Amino acid sequence: MRSESHTDKQRDRWVRFRILLVALGLVLGFVLLAARSVQVQLFQRETWATFANKQVQRSLRLEARRGDIYDRNGQALAVSIKMDSLAANPRVVQDPAQTARQLAEVIDSPVAVLETRLRQPRAFVWLKNYLTPKEADAVRALGLKGVHFVKENRRYYPNVELAGHVLGFVGRDHYGLEGLEISQDTILSGESGTHPGAKDARGQIIYTHGLPADSGPQGYSLRLTLDKRIQHIAEKELQTSVSTFEAKSGMAVVMAPETGEILAMAVSPSFNPNAFSSYRPSAWRNRTVTDAFEPGSTFKIFLLAAALEEGLVHPDDLFYCEQGRYRVLNHTIHDMRKFGWLSLAQILRLSSNIGAVKVGEKLGANRFYSYIHAFGFGSPTGLGLPGETSGLIRRPDDWSSVDLAAASFGQSLSVSAVQLTMALGAVANDGLLMEPLLIREVLDARGQVIRRNKPRVVRRVLSKATAQVLKQLLADVLTQGGTGTQAALDQYLAAGKTGTAQKSSRLGSGYAIDRYTASFVGFVPAENPRIVVVVVINEPQKGRYGGLVAAPAFRRISRQTLHCLKVTPEETSTEAKNESPPDSTDPLTEPPPIVLQPVAFGQSDYDHGTVMPDLTGLSLRAALDRIKNFSGLLSIHGSGRVVGQSPEPGRNFDSVGSCCLILTAE
């Protein structure tokens, strides 16, 4: 009995001990918990609060709305609009197959593609971006569970193809890919913003600070120098010429010479930047800045400008044009007609290649190159568009006499349409070369101007006196008998130059006999130019000459542009008012491009043994006929009959570089 009592007491003590042990453990645990609570709540409060917020709170990224692009008059050319895109949460969709069939009927997407996306083990999938309002309404009417809309910004070009090559386009990620959209992407895209929010246990967004504002962050907008009306005119008339003459492509640029502002920049064929992926990449590029071509006879403008500025020639100076054939080393240069003596003015008016070559020989390669460079050829214009070409102008050290001859009438070198426009603008602007200007202003989200680009003079290329003389010579090109009669306007006196250049052979050497670049460059009004217009037609199949193919487009673009600018007609009638194309068989519509044909050394086109005859008493016409084989520089003073000459009769032509005739009235 006593033994059982002892055992019970031991068991009781052991139970009490265990209870005490557990109690002590609980007390210790409570003390530790309290200490840890004090540590977390007081000493580590900020650390754990931040950690908790990171798990719950979310800073929602708000994509910046891309800035708009306007023309000079505030007309929208590119805008960003909010559109409904369709998304889904596959975890919530109850019947993927049925949902896919219903959606396919209203959003024009394959059932199989939609069903595959709806079966993905994800909480979010895109079904279709940028629904039309009709599609969005149809989807809403279905009331499908797990299917929802997301607002997205989409770049939209309201004028469709208008100025598409200038504007470019943006990709699906809203980054610019071509044109101004890529060159000005940093300005247009802006900086993304954030909006505070949180997420629940399922990861759903909770807007703890209210819904994001509709305005949100926004990029800067651009106001261009382009005029929407003039851009439309240029594109329409360019396309008409490309279609009429079945050309491969075409370019046109309209510029204000006093400021360098680009008013229009057209390329044909055009493309729609709203659906850029439907076109080949070659259709996207702005050929007016990316493509280099041989300018042909339009380059004679800058040859004569250099020679006049240097004081080497005078408009009345005569050059012998070799009756249409002139040898330079082992090549023969041709004119379309057999010209004899032509004045400098006639060389430009009739576009004699041989006459231009002789002016080039008098000017020399080094001086000619320095003026070519001064006019801006051989380097980018700084217009600010992607892919701008520098053209190809080799240094004079690499020129042979054949290269100098070819360059004198615009072959063996290449330029861009924008370079040609700005260089001619220097002539129209009394010798001042302007920097091309395409972006007029940068605007903030409220439309306030934060930056304004002002016209800037690059340098003076010609004196005002030389520019005035050149304007008169170029105006004469458009009169009856000149190569540019098709460019003449009824009520304005225009000035300009035709150009026709053979294109390089696809075989890699020489020139093709059936591929040409036809062009016309000019300005109007001639005395006080308001616009410079350059038209270039690439590989026309019906007709080849710039005076026939490109000059009519210049006339139509200029006439409508002057009307838009409200330039008062001068009531000036030109001798040639041709609204219909001239007979293509007329040899004066345009001289031929360069044709370089090798000839054997020692062969001669004229008699080297001819001596200077006695011209005293002869009329000017009779005197010129007597010395038609003279190839040097001829100067004539007075009118009537010859009373004096230098050199004296009997001198061999080979030893004479110039001839002076003095005439007096009978």
For the segment 614-645, what is each residue's pLDDT rounded down to a tens digit?
A: 887 787 777 877 777 776 667 676 667 776 67
Rounded mean pLDDT, 505-512: 69
For residue 33, pLDDT beyond 90: no
3-state helix, strand, coil in the chain (%, to 5): 35, 25, 40
Alpha carbon distance 501, 516 (integer Å): 6
Q: What is the pLDDT of residue 342?
A: 92
Rounded mean pLDDT, 105-133: 84
Q: For 133-172, write each residue's pLDDT tens digit.
A: 888 888 888 888 888 888 877 888 999 999 999 999 998 7
For residue 603, pLDDT beyond 70: no
Q: What is the pLDDT of residue 649?
A: 76
The pLDDT confidence band at residue 424, using thresholds 50, 70 and 90, is: very high
| Position 448, amino acid | Q
CB 185 within 8 A of CB 176: yes
Rounded mean pLDDT, 247-259: 97
Q: What is the pLDDT of residue 243?
A: 96
CB 106 within 8 A of CB 139: yes
Q: What is the pLDDT of residue 410?
A: 93
Percent of the chain with pLDDT over 70: 83
How many H helices and E strands in the chain?
20, 27
Alpha carbon distance 332, 328 (integer Å): 6
For residue 376, pLDDT beyond 90: yes
Q: What is the pLDDT of residue 127?
A: 85
Instruction: Tell me which range, 110-124, 217-231, 496-510, 648-662, is most confidently predicted by mean pLDDT.
Output: 217-231
Output the CA angle 567-573-577, nearest 5 degrees: 105
Q: What is the pLDDT of residue 433?
A: 97
Peptide bond into 455 cis (omega under 30): no
Percent of the chain with pLDDT over 90: 50
Q: What is the pLDDT of residue 654?
A: 64
Alpha carbon distance 74, 535 (integer Å): 27
Output the CA angle 25-29-34, nearest 5 degrees: 150
Q: For 169-216, write each residue's pLDDT tens digit.
A: 998 778 899 999 999 999 998 765 454 555 555 555 554 444 444 555
Determine the length of the chain.
666
For residue 47, pLDDT beyond 70: yes
Helix (H, G, I), strand (E, B) or coil at 393: coil
Q: What is the pLDDT of residue 197?
A: 53
Rounded mean pLDDT, 353-359: 94
For residue 280, pLDDT beyond 70: yes
Active site residue 297: yes
Alpha carbon distance 537, 250 (integer Å): 4
For domain 61-222, give the fold: Penicillin-binding protein 2a (Domain 2) (3.90.1310)
Alpha carbon distance 385, 253 (integer Å): 14
Q: What is the pLDDT of residue 607?
A: 36
Q: Spell 253-265 as b/e; 16+ CB within 10 A means b.
A: bbbbbbbbbbbbb
Q: What is the pLDDT of residue 621?
A: 72
Rounded mean pLDDT, 21-31: 83
- Please state, as a whole number, how many other Cβ atoms lie within 10 Å of the Cβ of residue 210: 9
CB 32 within 8 A of CB 40: no
| Phi, psi for residue 251 in degrees, rounded to 5 | -140, 150
Q: Which residue has the higher pLDDT, 23 or 658?
A: 23
Alpha-carbon torsion angle 134, 140, 146, 148, nearest 10: 60
Alpha carbon distance 24, 29 (integer Å): 8
State the Rg of the chain over Cα. Answer: 39
**Marked catalytic residue, from 297, 408, 414, 416:** 297
| Position 59, amino acid | S
With residue 169 as reference, give the H or E element that holds it: strand 169-170
Rounded mean pLDDT, 254-277: 95
Q: What is the pLDDT of residue 637?
A: 64
Q: Which two tokens stand for residue 502?
A: 């053979």
Q: Which residue has the higher pLDDT, 80 or 422?
A: 422
Q: What is the pLDDT of residue 362?
A: 94
Q: What residues does each domain of the chain span? A: 2-43, 61-222, 228-598, 620-664
Q: What is the pLDDT of residue 657?
A: 65
Rounded mean pLDDT, 11-21: 79
Output the CA angle 267-272-278, nearest 5 degrees: 115
The pLDDT confidence band at residue 100, using thresholds 50, 70 and 90, is: confident
Q: Where are the alpha helices (DSSP H) in 435-517?
A: 464-476
Rounded mean pLDDT, 454-471: 96
The pLDDT confidence band at residue 248, using thresholds 50, 70 and 90, is: very high
Q: CATH for 228-598?
A: 3.40.710.10
CB 266 within 8 A of CB 240: no
Closest alpha carbon to 122 in 161, 93, 84: 93
Alpha carbon distance 359, 355 (integer Å): 6
Output the CA angle 634-622-629, nearest 5 degrees: 50
Specify the DSSP class assigned to residue 42: I
With residue 78 as reference, give the H or E element that holds it: strand 76-88
Q: What is the pLDDT of residue 471?
A: 96
Q: Which residue has the higher pLDDT, 262 or 481?
A: 262
Q: Which residue has the higher pLDDT, 605 or 193?
A: 193
- Predicted TM-score (pTM) of the model is 0.76
Average pLDDT, the chain: 83
The pLDDT confidence band at residue 311, using thresholds 50, 70 and 90, is: very high
For residue 511, pLDDT beyond 60: yes
Output the CA angle 658-663-665, nearest 5 degrees: 170
161-165, 260-264, 459-463, 574-578: which range is least confident on average? 574-578
